Structure 1
Amino acid sequence: MPNRLINETSPYLLQHANNPVDWYPWGEEALERAR
């Protein structure tokens, strides 16, 4: 189940790209969703 991290370039974020969590990379989309 890939999530939003699948297209990131950071090795740390990519290792979590198939976690069953709806992760968001840091950015405007994550901030909007948090509001």
Structure 2
Amino acid sequence: MVRGLYAAAGISVQMQRQDVYAVNLANVSTTG
């Protein structure tokens, strides 16, 4: 049970990191 909660939290954190990474790439590509 606790292990599943940790896994879910880790997945959500990874998704947030990917979103931030994508936004940073978009900003760099648009600002050139």
Question: TM-score normalized by structure 2?
Answer: 0.28
Structure of larger gyration radius:
2
Report the TM-score when normalising by structure 1: 0.26
Q: Which has the higher helix share?
A: 2
